[in-house]
Amino acid sequence: MADMRLIVAGAGGRMGRTLTRVISETPGAVLVGALEAPGSELLGKDAGVLAGLPANDVKLSADLWSMSAAADGILDFTVPAATIANVAIAAERGLVHVIGTTGLSQSDDAVIRSVTNRAIVVKSGNMSLGVNLLAALVKRVAQSLDESFDIEILEMHHKSKIDAPSGTALMLGEAAAAGRKIALEQHSARGRDGLTGARRAGDIGFASLRGGTAAGDHSVIFAGPSERITLSHHAEDRALFAQGALKAALWAHGKKPGMYSMTDVLGLND
């Protein structure tokens, strides 16, 4: 079978450069396009050189329509506005669209869902095996404990991260809510500050720390009467997420249109 031809969106970013590197190490995948924001000073630069590799002759461009004429998939770790702009073109071209971008709103999610009758989308707030296993464990523990155990989710990321809580924290919150059979949006405590009053029973709390170069730390704390259970994951290198994204793209190649998650890719469905 021919190599899967991939575009990296946000090719000049932290994840974009990592994806370029991981593609070069992955049998069955080849980089054919590197997308950057219109007006970026990186347009025209070589994607390989930006990733610390020998030149690969894939130049950064802002023209997704042209570069996608000869591509099979797009790995998109950018910003919400860019991802939403890419969705229509990816669907029109029949690309596999792997979406790692976080900070998407409910209306952004609705736009993504609206194309999944003709697009193949794999979307996850975290592409690592470890976090997806952690989510399954969180759901399981939440099922077993009643409201006398308060659920709090703590995350820490590098100082350049622009959204909070992280996509992973929200994913873990959804897992906990599913275990408890409640809707997260009605039981979510975010951004406590000042005279907050006592904790509301049944809420799932979120706290975000930012600093240094942390690739992504997440803990889910079940705090009960006289005991606490903490389930944690620590990412040591963002190559972990890029490898997960490559696995997702190769898995989705040739699948029917639809919305898939890393749970599908990794075979972790109940």
Ligand X SMILES: O=C(O)C1=N[C@H](C(=O)O)C[C@H](O)C1
Ligand Y SMILES: NC(=O)C1=CN([C@@H]2O[C@H](COP(=O)(O)OP(=O)(O)OC[C@H]3O[C@@H](n4cnc5c(N)ncnc54)[C@H](OP(=O)(O)O)[C@@H]3O)[C@@H](O)[C@H]2O)C=CC1
Residues that bind ligand X (CB under 6 A): 102, 125-126, 157, 161, 166-168, 216
The residue among 93 and 139 lying less far from ligand X, judged by its C-beta, is: 139
Question: Interface residues for ligand Y in 33-52 (CB under 6 A)?
Answer: 35-37, 40
Count of CB atoms situated within 10 Å of the CB of 81: 11
Distances, alpha carbon 99 to alpha carbons 37, 41, 55, 73, in Å: 17, 24, 26, 11
> If binding is defined by CB under 6 A, does position 14 make contact with ligand Y?
yes
Q: Which two tokens stand for residue 251?
A: 């898995």
The vertex-229 CA angle with 223 and 232, nearest 5°, equals 115
> Could you give the CA distance from residue 20 to residue 33 in angstroms, rounded to a whole number?
10
Q: Which two tokens stand for residue 18?
A: 């990592």
Q: Which two tokens stand for residue 256?
A: 């029917």
> If binding is defined by CB under 6 A, does position 78 make contact with ligand Y?
yes
CB of 77 to ligand X, least distance (A): 8
The residue among 77 and 222 lying less far from ligand X, judged by its C-beta, is: 77
Tokens 């219109």 belong to residue: 38
Contact 127, 181 (CB under 8 A): no
157 contact, one of ligand Y, ligand X, none, CB 5-8 Å limit per kind: ligand X
Tokens 């406590």 belong to residue: 192
User: Mask 226-245, x = binds ligand Y (CB under 6 A)?
Assistant: ------------x--x----
119 contact, one of ligand X, ligand Y, none, CB 5-8 Å limit per kind: none
CB burial of 216-244 (b: ≥16 within 10 Å; e: otherwise) equals bbbbbbbeeeeeeeebebebeebbbbbbb
Q: At what angle do helices 167-180 and 129-144 cross, to 10 degrees?
A: 30
The residue among 218 and 253 lying less far from ligand X, judged by its C-beta, is: 218
157 is catalytic: yes
The residue among 56 and 261 lying less far from ligand X, judged by its C-beta, is: 261
The residue among 49 and 229 lying less far from ligand Y, judged by its C-beta, is: 49
> If binding is defined by CB under 6 A, does position 124 make contact with ligand Y?
yes
Question: Interface residues for ligand Y in 197-226 (CB under 6 A)?
Answer: none
List, in sequence order, every residue forming a beta bridge with 155; answer none if it has no partner.
Answer: 208, 218
CB of 171 to ligand X, least distance (A): 7
161 is catalytic: yes
Question: Interface residues for ligand Y in 141-200 (CB under 6 A)?
Answer: 167
Enumerate binding residues for ligand Y (CB under 6 A). Answer: 9-10, 12-16, 35-37, 40, 77-79, 82, 100-103, 124-127, 167, 238, 241
Active-site amino acid positions: 157, 161
